[in-house]
Chain A
Amino acid sequence: MYAFEYHRPTSVKEAAGLAGQAEDTKFLAGGHTLLPTMKLRLAGPANLIDLGQIAELRGIERSGDTITIGAMMKHAEVANSAEVKQAIPALAEMAELIGDPHVRNRGTIGGSVANNDPSADYPAACLALNATIITNQRKIAADDFFQGIFTTALQEGEIITQVSFKVPSQAAYTKFRNPASRYALVGVFVAKHADGVRVAVTGAGSNGVFRLPEMEKALSGNFAAEAIDGIAVATDEMNSDIHADAAYRAHLVGVMARRAVQAAAARG
């Protein structure tokens, strides 16, 4: 790790101010992505702004048909939240599938969404649950937010404060773990909303998280696994690595989607 200055603001405003003034800054949330890259000397920010003491970034709140989660909420807090379990059980289950207990008790929703790792779970939930990413400057629809691997709509120094999810009538997330890292090799989040079904896929795409319009259309007509039986997933935009080549990933997208639909439909 290279040496850096450590800052610990207590408000979003203060944090944004620091980011505006200091050179070469990075926000620190749970640190579960950022710190390993710093230890490996792949990242070396001069200034680290720890968001851990900012009360405004915490909390989970339901209002009407949305659930709003503070950016600094840890995966375990989301997994165990009574509100989330009641409103969107699939989201709580997704959070419970992230990493291991250490990761879930450090990693945050804000960090995961900001990072947009192509194998992370939250991006799929955001797309399928028609989420809005709320920052200290604006609100961004999830469909516009994720812009390719490790790339988002966030500007330099912009802070995610909350993520709000639309409560679906039925939803489920199925994850096929990378055997080694346990990130998603393929993760499919299926959610049925009043205005149609959303199917979002993480882990598989060479350009990060994406939706499957053909499946969404079929499922909007008939929310049952059979409805997507014949739909082939194209291999050309699929990731390929030693764990799974494009053909296997494409195949798994179909399997995981069908299983997600079954699980969501079983929820009644």
Chain B
Amino acid sequence: MTATGIGAPVRRKEDQRFVTGQGRYVDDFNRPGQAHAYFLRSPHAHAAIRSIDTGPAMIMPGVIAVFTGDDLAADKIGGLICGWMIHSKDGSPMKAGPHPALAQGKVRYVGDHVAVVIAETLAQAKDAAEAIVVHYDVLPAVVDTAQAAKASVQVHDVSPDNTVFNWHLGNKDETEAAFARAKHVTKIDLVNNRLVPNPIEPRAAVGEYDLGTDNYTLYTTSQNPHVARLVLSAFIGVAPEHKLRVIAPDVGGGFGSKIFIYAEETVCVWAAKKVKRPVKWTSDRSEAFLSDAHGRDHVTHAEMATDENGKIIGLRVHTTANLGAYLSTFSSSVPTYLYAPLLSGQYDIPAIYCEVDAVYTNTAPVDAYRGAGRPEATFVVERLVEKTARELRQDPAEFRRRNYITQFPHATPVIMTYDTGDYAASLDKALEIADYKNFQQRKQESARRGKLRGIGFSSYIEACGIAPSQAVGSLGAGVGLWESAEVRVNPTGSVEVLTGSHSHGQGHETTFAQLVSDRLGISIDQVSIVHGDTDKVQFGMGTYGSRSGAVGMSAIAKAIDKVIAKGKKVAAHVLEASEGDIEFKDGRFGVAGTDRSMAFGEIALQAYIAHKFSGQDLEPGLKEGAFYDPTNFTFPAGVHICEVEIDPDTGVTKIERWTAVDDFGVIINPMIVEGQVHGGIAQGVGQALLEGAVYDQSGQLITASFNDYCMPRAIDLPAFQVGMTVTPCPSNPLGIKGCGEAGAIAAPPAVINAITDALGHEDIAMPATPQAVWRAAQKARMPMAAE
């Protein structure tokens, strides 16, 4: 290991730029002649548009153009797409309603795009938007997830019962049989609350059109610029792929919400050509609340069957998933293939059957948000396992241990094959760190002060790096899920790595450079990571699903191997030895059994000078590319333990202790991994205690600002005790599993299990706000009422 190699807690290279305010985000780009776009949004959750009169806006000062859905239609600009086809149980394809970038005839949620004004300044665009006269026929709205399929309101013509699909996974007959012979059945009803992603940088786009070359450029806040280009060109049709350059520069957080291809960037590129001016749009926070794709929003009934030995023998789950008013880019995959396959958790459950009904409502579209499906699955499994252990009067840790999978590979009834893991090792370590054996003492001490103390476990598993492409293709994915890399060695021996992954907070400029440093024996200062520009990086799938380590870095490793192989050829000529005798070690190419060797940089120079070999025998230069398609998902897993103390007088829940023991496989940078764990837990605690998007019955978003939508703050969190166990991942060359979402997946059930433990009953929903906990504590004081 070099000082900056794999496993070193190197400080993040990019942070110098970020903390000194030198980051370049989309809104920092101002193009010559730039005009500003402002979107007129629907104030109604559901309405037919009788007419739009843009005339009064057109004559306002500074106005360049006002466009509506008719203009997009006239230019044959297609609608936004959903890139994952899900089939219902009966084989029929999901019912995808139209999703125009600007409304055509109807608006379906508050914040839906009605028209766009392009003006010299943003203030002028806003003034003009107020002058547009829209006649709406307001329709009743449907917002409630559980009621959507029964509602008389119809969101899309294609779906009379507001149902997108009725999908299922697992072995139904075996599951029914398991429940028939069960000794005990535990039932639970759960709501996985809707969340607003809230990255610190709101979405933004600058579209530009070059009259001379007919080239388009889009600067956009994207986690996956190549996918954005593909969708904008091949499906929406705003520009041919080879004529469209998409740049996603520094991006200030995404959490999934910047994977998707939205109306605003579509309109900015298209309008740039219409008005022959660069067109910029930057979301304000209010728009972000209304129009960024939200996350979660499931209503679930689940049952767990156990036998006389306390062994889990079956699990059945019914979930209704709210997808909002339109199908966002990957929305359909989240409550299906990113959800149900995780329902086996860390447990050996022979029979699992899951049904998912996805519904339309008059709310913002719902799509992947940190964890995407896996937090929802983990919440079901871990709440149910905890409740089962309680009903069987077993220690929740030991109940889990008894049911852990211990033999690998392990095929679950829900299409996953877990490759490796040691769940008991994480549990043991977590119990130790959490000082579980003295918990009862702490509980009594709390009780003496009139407080309720509880402890909650979450023994989670997730699946990262969704892959391989053939497999996801067979499940309905519209794209492959590999990653690409190009390693360009300069004559001076410094290296540029072009990657299809995209960093928006993850620290790739550091961790990816660490891999190069480790493999090539050069300092990370000699390495630049290039990403986020379709003109530089040939193609890539982007960053989400904790895939950049396992998939993105594996592609880099593969390209590095090719660079070393080529370097050996060069070295063989320069060192006058046969290629088979050349070894590469500690950054030097040497001849085996001799002291003759040359540094990596010297060989790089020789590769470009090309004096020592014939160009007919060996191509000059040192640059290699690779595409890496994994053989399986990766399966990070671990145990989180949350300990809370509740003040029954106020309902305030204080997290007293947090233990996280995670198995992420091989770790590149423990400091960055720990940071990802902290951030993930904070988000999970946010979901469990604080956050929740609330619409009223008319479809107005009540939690439309930070005044009402509660984000986690440092003061809401304890000091985390983080531990690691390592079982290297066998399905990629680096042994990496991924760590970006684990905390957000593990945390919610740990918190709620701790609260329900403290309360002595199960009746509390997320977010467990002080008001909700106070009420639940009242109920706990009336012992009989709880039943």
Q: Is the interface of A mostly helix, strand, loop or mixed?
A: loop
Check B710 against A179 for contact (C-beta < 8 Å).
yes
Check B771 against A180 for contact (C-beta < 8 Å).
no
Q: Closest residue to A119 on the B side, CB-wise?
A: B707
Q: Indicate whether A194 reaches chain B with its CB closer than 8 angstroms.
A: no
Which A residues, 235 to 254, have Cβ-Cβ distances below 8 Å to chain B?
242-245, 248, 251-252
Residues of A contacting B707 with CB < 8 Å?
A: 180-181
Which B residues, 739 to 779, have Cβ-Cβ distances below 8 Å to chain A?
769-771, 774-775
Q: Indicate whether B706 reaches chain A with its CB closer than 8 angstroms.
A: yes
Q: A255-B649, A255-B650 are in contact. Are A181 and B126 (CB under 8 A)?
A: no
Q: How far is the CA of A242 from the CA of B772 in the complex (A)?
A: 10
1/0 per residue, CB under 8 A from B, across A216-244: the answer is 00000000000000000000000000111
Q: How many A-B residue pairs have CB under 8 A?
A: 40
| Closest CB in chain B relative to A168 CB, distance in Å | 25
Residues of B contacting A2 with CB < 8 Å?
A: 127
Which A residues, 31 to 48, have Cβ-Cβ distances below 8 Å to chain B?
40-41
Check B710 against A180 for contact (C-beta < 8 Å).
yes
Check B703 against A242 for contact (C-beta < 8 Å).
yes
Check B771 against A245 for contact (C-beta < 8 Å).
yes
Check A180 against B708 for contact (C-beta < 8 Å).
yes
Q: How far is the CA of A176 from the CA of B770 in the complex (A)?
A: 10
Which A residues, 42 to 90, have Cβ-Cβ distances below 8 Å to chain B?
none
Check A243 against B709 for contact (C-beta < 8 Å).
no
Check A242 against B708 for contact (C-beta < 8 Å).
yes
Q: Indicate whether A1 reaches chain B with its CB closer than 8 angstroms.
A: yes
Residues of A contacting B769 with CB < 8 Å?
A: 179, 243
Check B710 against A251 for contact (C-beta < 8 Å).
no
Q: How far is the CA of A179 from the CA of B769 in the complex (A)?
A: 8
Check B123 against A1 for contact (C-beta < 8 Å).
yes
Q: Closest residue to B286 on the A side, CB-wise?
A: A40
Q: Closest residue to A181 on the B side, CB-wise?
A: B707
| Closest CB in chain B relative to A187 CB, distance in Å | 13
- Max chain B CB contacts within 10 Å: which of A181, A244, A248? A248
Residues of B contacting A244 with CB < 8 Å?
A: 770-771
| Closest CB in chain A relative to B260 CB, distance in Å | 26
Q: Closest residue to B127 on the A side, CB-wise?
A: A2
Which residue in A40, A248, A255 is a CB contact (below 8 Å) of B771? A248
Q: Indicate whether B52 reaches chain A with its CB closer than 8 angstroms.
A: no
Residues of A contacting B775 with CB < 8 Å?
A: 248
Q: How far is the CA of A148 from the CA of B123 in the complex (A)?
A: 34
Q: Indicate whether B143 reaches chain A with its CB closer than 8 angstroms.
A: no
Q: How far is the CA of A255 from the CA of B778 in the complex (A)?
A: 14
Residues of A contacting B709 with CB < 8 Å?
A: 180
Which residue in B649, B694, B711 is a CB contact (below 8 Å) of A242? B694
Residues of A contacting B702 with CB < 8 Å?
A: 242
Q: A1-B123, A40-B286, A180-B709 are in contact. Are A252 and B703 (CB under 8 A)?
A: no
| Closest CB in chain A relative to B691 CB, distance in Å | 9
Q: Indicate whether B690 reaches chain A with its CB closer than 8 angstroms.
A: yes
Check A176 against B650 for contact (C-beta < 8 Å).
yes
Residues of B contacting A181 with CB < 8 Å?
A: 706-708
Q: How far is the CA of A3 from the CA of B707 in the complex (A)?
A: 26
Which residue in B123, B649, B706 is a CB contact (below 8 Å) of A180? B706
Check B126 against A243 for contact (C-beta < 8 Å).
no
Q: How far is the CA of A179 from the CA of B649 in the complex (A)?
A: 16
Q: How far is the CA of A243 from the CA of B649 in the complex (A)?
A: 16
Check A251 against B774 for contact (C-beta < 8 Å).
yes
Check A252 against B126 for contact (C-beta < 8 Å).
no
Residues of B contacting A251 with CB < 8 Å?
A: 774
Q: Closest residue to A256 on the B side, CB-wise?
A: B650
Q: Closest residue to A251 on the B side, CB-wise?
A: B774
- Max chain B CB contacts within 10 Å: which of A181, A242, A255? A242
Q: Closest residue to B694 on the A side, CB-wise?
A: A242
Residues of A contacting B703 with CB < 8 Å?
A: 180, 242
Residues of B contacting A248 with CB < 8 Å?
A: 651, 771, 774-775
Q: How far is the CA of A180 from the CA of B690 in the complex (A)?
A: 8
| Closest CB in chain A relative to B677 CB, distance in Å | 24
Residues of A contacting B650 with CB < 8 Å?
A: 176, 252, 255
Q: Closest residue to B711 on the A side, CB-wise?
A: A180
Q: How far is the CA of A245 from the CA of B769 in the complex (A)?
A: 12
Q: How far is the CA of A1 from the CA of B774 in the complex (A)?
A: 41
Which residue in A41, A176, A242 is a CB contact (below 8 Å) of B126? A41
Q: A242-B702, A243-B708, A243-B769 are in contact. Are A179 and B774 (CB under 8 A)?
A: no
Q: Closest residue to B647 on the A side, CB-wise?
A: A255
Q: Closest residue to B652 on the A side, CB-wise?
A: A176
- Max chain B CB contacts within 10 Å: which of A180, A245, A252? A180
Q: How far is the CA of A13 from the CA of B649 in the complex (A)?
A: 51
Residues of B contacting A179 with CB < 8 Å?
A: 690, 710, 769-770
Which B residues, 666 to 725, have Cβ-Cβ distances below 8 Å to chain A?
690, 694, 702-703, 706-711
Which B residues, 642 to 661, have Cβ-Cβ distances below 8 Å to chain A?
649-651
Residues of A contacting B708 with CB < 8 Å?
A: 180-181, 242-243
Residues of A contacting B771 with CB < 8 Å?
A: 243-245, 248
Q: How far is the CA of A22 from the CA of B697 in the complex (A)?
A: 43
Q: How far is the CA of A245 from the CA of B771 in the complex (A)?
A: 8
Q: How far is the CA of A255 from the CA of B708 in the complex (A)?
A: 23
1/0 per residue, CB under 8 A from B, across A176-220: the answer is 100111000000000000000000000000000000000000000
Q: Closest residue to A3 on the B side, CB-wise?
A: B123
| Closest CB in chain A relative to B700 CB, distance in Å | 12
Residues of A contacting B690 with CB < 8 Å?
A: 179-180
| Closest CB in chain A relative to B21 CB, distance in Å | 17
5 A-B pairs (CB sep. < 8 Å): A40-B286, A180-B690, A180-B711, A243-B769, A251-B774
Binding site for B on A (CB under 8 A): 1-3, 40-41, 176, 179-181, 242-245, 248, 251-252, 255
Ordered nearest first, which 8 A-B pairs have the shortest CB separation? A180-B710, A181-B707, A179-B710, A248-B771, A255-B649, A244-B771, A180-B708, A242-B694
Binding site for A on B (CB under 8 A): 123, 126-127, 286, 649-651, 690, 694, 702-703, 706-711, 769-771, 774-775
Other A-B pairs beyond A181-B707, A248-B775, 18, CB < 8 Å: A2-B127, A3-B123, A41-B126, A176-B770, A179-B770, A180-B707, A180-B708, A180-B709, A180-B710, A181-B706, A181-B708, A242-B694, A242-B702, A243-B708, A248-B774, A252-B650, A255-B649, A255-B650
